[in-house]
Amino acid sequence: MNFIRRYWLLLVLALPFFVALDDSSVWDSNEAFYAQTPREMLERGDWVVPYFNGQPRLNKPPLSYWVVAPFYRFFSAVLFWERLVMALLGYGCILAVFATGKILYDPRVALLAAGILATTFRFLVVSRRLLIDTLLLFCLLWGIACLLWWLKSQRKGPFLLSAVFFGLAFLAKGPVACLPIGFLALYLFLSGRLPRAPWAMGGVVYIALCSFWFLLLGLEMGWEPVRGFFLEENLSRFTSLEMGPRRGYSYYVGVFLGDFFPWSIFLLAAVLGSLMWKKPKPEHALLLGLWMATYFVVFSLSYNKQEYYILPLYPAAALWIAAYVNRSVPPKLLTASVGAIFLVLGGALVVLVQVLFGGMLLWVPVLFLPVFVVGLLKGRYSLAITGLALFYAGSFSLYLGPWEEYKPVRHLARTIVEKTSQTGTQVDSVVGYYKLAAPSLVFYLNRPIVELSDPEETARLLESDRAVYLIVSSEDYPELTRASRQPVEIVEARPKLYTNLRTLIEGFRRGSSDNLRENWIRPVYLITNQPGS
């Protein structure tokens, strides 16, 4: 009970991670790979070579699949267990930040830092839909915490445990996991502690964990996949436009300001204010500064930029801001501005959910935003964080269910199962999608699907003797009807919601309040070459 009285905020922070785990279908942006691959791994009985959609998936190491597979093995291969793993890892990141804050500062700063990270928009989104990056961050944060524990205790155990976590991080996502080793080594060198580390023993543990899967893969499939992993999947991602969109060097400035909001607004004041202190010791600022600068600079120089690449930067920023607000009073203009922005965003959210979902009580989560604003203005940051955590937990609980109306793949997958069962073509039919990323179809059907983008190839498939069912957007459907001589029938149409900022703004510009919903959605069709089916 004493722990609960002292650290009650840690319990509140768990809510956004564990509520409504099963209320939404698979997110097609990446989650499908980490939900389905462990199932195919179990069905094949092969723990070395991961498969997705019946094909080897070797662009990532297998730790993300290995952590989910035991839950599938002992319970069942349903989405809840993959989501539970993500929730445990996400909350484990919060506990790692808390542990790091206690080592560097004190329990109050540690709690505030954990709360800041737990109420960061991008971190919450990733921890509910992108297993591999949540796992990577979990391993990195505990590796850093253990290394700092070693610095404080000078015992070998924490150093070796740090090597274990960094090795697991490499096994989660590959060479990108080496970045913390670089800035930590530089920090140890600049602070005069580099020679004290038991590098030999830790190095053996680290290298063994990093390399053993690649050795097994090479022995089973040859060394070409290993070479391709390092040179094409990883190096090309940083040096080639082919691996992703090319964005400007300042891209992550906007990403940080938006994804780390509202806490991003406090960081500049925190950095300037903290550097004027005599305490905490300067090396804490050095450590956190190297931590943030490494991720920001490295990924700003990368050709391929994604919002979540700088996710490991946010815990360092949370620690710095927590130390600052614990000792200083941020400018009133700053806190008032953040509070006003949040109230405006809350009002916009009420309008948005009413337009999209309708219904009663969907405005309830917004009632927690004034709690956040009052806590912010009064300098009661535990209260502010509590209000924000309850807002996110309430939003997930109430909004994810209605959102399913605008996520078409699970609904269309059920229709495919019904139609192929009625016609007796479950085995012989061809199922897939055309110019539409819908890998979750593999999870819901648990069978190989085709991914098509060429209209002529797709037309030949539709003209074949086999029953074909394809998911296609309404924008691409006319192209297929023109290309195919075989009559194509729409079996079912489902709405798909496009939620990027540009689409939302354009929707406001184009329409009145009566047709906003229509401006933000587009139909997605299930089509077939079996008329009357």
Predicted confidence (pLDDT) per residue in 175-227, tens digit: 999 999 999 999 988 887 776 767 888 889 999 999 999 999 999 998 998 98
pLDDT surpasses 70 at 507: no
3-state secondary structure of 305: coil
Residue 121 contacts residue 261 (beta carbons within 8 Å): yes
Q: Which residue has the higher pLDDT, 278 or 407?
A: 407
Residues 231-247 as b/e (b if ≥16 CB within 10 A, e otherwise) read eebbebbbeeeebeeeb
How far apart CA 149 and CA 147 sit, in angstroms, is 5
Question: 3-class secondary structure for 38-106?
Answer: HHHHHHHCCCCCCEECCEECCCCCCHHHHHHHHHHHHCCCCHHHHHHHHHHHHHHHHHHHHHHHHHHCC
DSSP letter for 304, please: B
Residue 413 contacts residue 445 (beta carbons within 8 Å): yes
State CA 104 to chain mean position distance.
27
Q: Which long-range contacts (CB under 8 A, 24 or more apart) does 298-303 make?
A: 298/179, 299/252, 300/249, 300/250, 300/251, 300/252, 301/238, 301/249, 302/237, 302/238, 303/237, 303/238, 303/239, 303/240, 303/241, 303/243, 303/244, 303/246
Residue whose tokens read 């002992």: 74
pLDDT for 385: 96
* Token output for 111: 């709690």
Task: Work out the pLDDT band at 68, boundaries 50, 70, 90.
Answer: very high
pLDDT surpasses 60 at 241: no
Residue 261 contacts residue 253 (beta carbons within 8 Å): no
What whole-number percentage of the chain has pLDDT above 90? 62
Please report the DSSP string for 375-401 in residue order: HHHTT-HHHHHHHHHHHHHHHHHHHHH
Q: Please give the helix or strand (H or E) that residue 356 lies within, else none.
A: helix 332-356
Task: Work out the pLDDT band at 240, boundaries 50, 70, 90.
Answer: low
Rounded to the nearest 10 degrees, what angle do helices 31-44 and 63-74 cross at? 60
How far apart CA 265 and CA 519 sit, in angstroms, is 32
Task: Work out the pLDDT band at 501, boundaries 50, 70, 90.
Answer: low
Instruction: Please enumerate in sequence order all residues whose Cβ is within 8 A of that of 82, keeping only pairs 6 or more positions apart, or say none.
Output: 31, 34, 35, 38, 68, 71, 131
pLDDT digits (tens, 9 = 90+) for 103-123: 999 999 999 999 999 999 999
Sheet holding 450-452, edge to edge: 450-452, 430-434, 468-473, 521-528, 489-497
What whole-number percentage of the chain has pLDDT above 70? 92
* Token output for 456: 């002529």
pLDDT for 432: 95
pLDDT for 518: 72
Q: Tell me the CA distances in angstroms from 424 to 417, 466, 467, one per residue in order.
A: 10, 12, 10
Residue whose tokens read 């700063």: 109
The CB density around residue 195, as the number of other CB atoms within 10 Å, is 8
Q: Which residue has the higher pLDDT, 380 or 234?
A: 380
State the chain's mean pLDDT as an integer: 88
CA count, 13 A, side-chain hemisphere, 465: 0
pLDDT for 271: 83
Mean pLDDT for 410-432 is 89
3-state secondary structure of 197: coil
Mean pLDDT for 410-431 is 89
Residue 51 contacts residue 41 (beta carbons within 8 Å): yes
Q: Strands 489-497 and 521-528, how do they pair?
A: antiparallel
- What is the residue type of 379? G
Residue 143 contacts residue 169 (beta carbons within 8 Å): yes
pLDDT digits (tens, 9 = 90+) for 442-454: 999 999 999 999 9
pLDDT for 192: 77
pLDDT surpasses 70 at 99: yes
pLDDT digits (tens, 9 = 90+) for 26-43: 998 789 999 999 999 999
Task: Work out the pLDDT band at 387, boundaries 50, 70, 90.
Answer: very high
Task: Work out the pLDDT band at 524, boundaries 50, 70, 90.
Answer: very high
pLDDT digits (tens, 9 = 90+) for 201-212: 888 999 999 999
Please report the DSSP string for 117-129 in residue order: HHT-HHHHHHHHH
3-state secondary structure of 474: coil
